[in-house]
Structure 1
Amino acid sequence: MVRADMKTQPFKGRVVLVTGASGGIGRAAAKAYAAAGADVVLAARRLSQLEDAAREVASLGVRALPVRCDVTVGDDVARLVAETDAAFAGLDVLVNNAGQGLYGPLEDLGEAQLRQVFELNVFGLWRMTRAALPLLRKRRGSQVVNVSSVLGHRGLPMLGGYCASKAAVNAMTESLRAELAAEGIRVLLVSPGFTESDFRENRLHADGWRQDAIPLKAMSAEEVAAAMVRASRRGHRDTVLTLPGRVMVLANRWAPGLFDRVARRMTADSKKKGS
């Protein structure tokens, strides 16, 4: 019976904190970890949606703690960590999922827009991880799961600001992985491809630029969450999702010149549509 429980609920008795948990991948991840047995701390800025997500998590028979938190605000992060410690006396998995997109050519991006995206995608991740480390150190076999993007592995036209922020996430993940290895804290990277969520609706745009529908089959947020939990359970260091995403990463690695030509064609098409 114990073996069966461990097989169906491998995170039973563990505590998972998910940022950006009010919608999209974060909300799906909170439910997926809960289905695997974990108690979940849900953090996000949108309180009503966050409380709805927490009720969904609690309905799976685990503890759910919603905490309104803006990871770009140091006091919010400190309060989130304190409430997590008070409720659970430690943390097993930190999922750094909170993020925002940015679309438009680099020359047309506003500096404030670029700083806003980096503040959330990069500094927010750094701030959250640094604050959570004392709690992670209380638990054996703890993890940090950083949600990046296939666009963190290759810069694409019209997405340079967002790509740069996720490339920074990738580099920070590699550094953190080495720095924490001796303590037994594993640092994992999950890179989704095109995903059905409210992410595109909430991203920033350079003045005068909007993106047409992408002619690719999207993964659902639930599929991304399932892959994340699977990677977390197995301790996979890098997970790149969707077939087009994996093809892009491999093509850029082994034939960067060819992919440069593809990117130039994408630039021409984008500017033609934007004119």
Structure 2
Amino acid sequence: MPSGAFVGRVVLITGASSGIGRAAARAYAAQGAHLVLAARREELLREVVREVEGLGAQALAVRCDITQAEDVARLMREAEARFGGLDLLINNAGLGLFGPVEALAEEQLRQVFEVNFFALVRVTQAALPLLRRRPGGQIVNVSSVLGHRGLPLLGGYCAAKAAVNMLTESLRAELAAEGISVLLVSPGFTETEFRQTRLHAQGWRQSPSPLKQMSADEVAAAMVKASRKHRRDTVLTLPGRVMVLANRFVPGLFDQVARRMIDRMVQRKGS
């Protein structure tokens, strides 16, 4: 018999083919959940299905580009047909952007906001009717410590994640009376392919981070814990929490620290 805090509950995860999304699929499956897995890379999704089925979960893989309204509508139809509703929505899919603000192309900024913010809104709106069918529904928005504090050369990504943070606060208040909780999980630097797939301003590249990184499995474990305890805001990694606190109490000093930190992580144009 399956056991765990989420036995029989249905969890939809976007960006489920790799990284934090794939780790989250395993973590919720280990707690007894059934899964709707959405991503663009169908072959990788099938691998995740095999992994979670090995843990006893039922799983539905749906190839889905969440920037496309018709794909999102189809995702919800397939989830409804298979499971009849949803208990949890994990808005995990994301896209990074690196480079100084003056060098960012408008097209890049729009693409980053489309994936990180507008698609999150689109998926959430489409999922709400299914979440309302089950008591105790939950939405988990995956943000970043960079949604709490902007860093040099990451302004476009920081702005998109800050928008997610504010949306989460508004949505939390709007849905509270319906018994749907809305949580925010903000990872710090994490060992995933995120840095390889991010966008870059022309001529700019980021060197490997000198900071210790969490594994995707560690982030997923923290996410499941926050989900189980209905913890509204979770900021991960000690450096991440220090950064948020420093920005709150000594923002000028942290501006200097941030500039030095980025200088160690960047390959400038022409280098």
**2:223 maps to 1:228:** yes
Match of 1:240 in 2: 235
TM-score, with length taken from structure 1: 0.95
Match of 1:162 in 2: 157
Match of 2:112 in 1: 117
* Matches of 2:140 and 2:80, distance apart in 1: 19
Match of 1:58 in 2: 53
* Matches of 2:76 and 2:33, distance apart in 1: 17
Residue-pair matches, total: 270
* Matches of 1:162 and 1:115, distance apart in 2: 11
1:184 to 158, 165, 179: 179
- Go from structure 1 to structure 2 and tell me whether the alpha carbon gap of 1:81 and 1:254 turns closer, same or farther (over 3 Å shift): same
TM-score, with length taken from structure 2: 0.96
Q: Secondary structure at the residue paired with 1:77?
A: helix
Amino acid paired to 2:153: M
Unaligned runs of 5+ in 1: none
Match of 1:136 in 2: 131
Indicate conservation of the 8 Å contact 1:157/1:266, yes or no. no
**2:8 maps to 1:13:** yes
Q: Secondary structure at the residue paired with 2:205?
A: coil
Indicate conservation of the 8 Å contact 1:58/1:64, yes or no. yes
> What do residues 45-96 of structure 1 show as CA deviations (whole Å, max 9, x unaligned)?
0111111111111111110100001110000000000110111111000000
Identity across matched positions, percent: 69
User: Shift in Å at residue 98 of structure 1?
Assistant: 0.5
RMSD: 1.5
2:17 to 18, 22, 37: 22
- Go from structure 1 to structure 2 and tell me whether the alpha carbon gap of 1:272 and 1:230 turns closer, same or farther (over 3 Å shift): closer
User: Shift in Å at residue 265 of structure 1?
Assistant: 3.7
Q: Secondary structure at the residue paired with 1:144?
A: strand
- Go from structure 1 to structure 2 and tell me whether the alpha carbon gap of 1:12 and 1:47 turns closer, same or farther (over 3 Å shift): same
Match of 1:40 in 2: 35
* Matches of 2:175 and 2:197, distance apart in 1: 33
**2:190 maps to 1:209:** no
- Go from structure 1 to structure 2 and tell me whether the alpha carbon gap of 1:262 and 1:141 turns closer, same or farther (over 3 Å shift): same
Match of 2:79 in 1: 84
Q: Secondary structure at the residue paired with 2:66?
A: coil
Amino acid paired to 2:82: A
Q: Secondary structure at the residue paired with 2:13?
A: strand
1:96 to 91, 100, 120: 91
> What do residues 150-191 of structure 1 show as CA deviations (whole Å, max 9, x unaligned)?
000001000000000000000000000000000000000000
* Matches of 1:24 and 1:13, distance apart in 2: 24
* Matches of 2:263 and 2:20, distance apart in 1: 32
> What do residues 88-146 of structure 1 show as CA deviations (whole Å, max 9, x unaligned)?
11100000000000000011011111100100000010000000000000010110000
* Matches of 1:210 and 1:246, distance apart in 2: 26
User: Shift in Å at residue 259 of structure 1?
Assistant: 1.1
